[in-house]
Amino acid sequence: MNEHIISDASTLSGWRKSSYSNSDSGSCVEVLDGHPSGVPVRDSKNPHGPAVVLPPTGWSSFIAAVKEGRFTA
């Protein structure tokens, strides 16, 4: 397993929908807490697809940018 990508995210259990996911259009990001390599993130519509593992500092920076409105849909 590459430490930055999990090829089949369904091999891990405990996924939860991110509170920043869009509940109206089905655009859901799921995250997994407590992974030793960082914060795995996957598309809920593709549970057997890949997950990207972000370092904790990268995840924190991403969440800060979302809260600040730096991304548009």
**Residue 17 pLDDT greater than 70, yes or no:** yes
- Using alpha carbons, select from 37, 45, 47 the residue that is nearest to residue 15: 47
**Residue 73 pLDDT greater than 90, yes or no:** no
Q: Report d(CA 51, CA 13) in Å as an integer.
A: 12
pLDDT in tens, 26-57: 668 899 999 999 999 999 889 999 999 999 99
Asked if the structure places residue 72 within a domain, the reply is no
pTM listed for this prediction: 0.78
Q: Helix-strand-coil percent breakdown of the chain, rounded to 5?
A: 20, 20, 60
Can you give the pLDDT at residue 21? 67
Domain tally, the chain: 1
Asked if the structure places residue 73 within a domain, the reply is no
Q: Report d(CA 71, CA 50) in Å as an integer.
A: 23
Asked if the structure places residue 18 within a domain, the reply is yes
Find the domain containing 41 and state its range.
Answer: 5-67
**Residue 2 pLDDT greater than 60, yes or no:** no
**Residue 22 pLDDT greater than 90, yes or no:** no
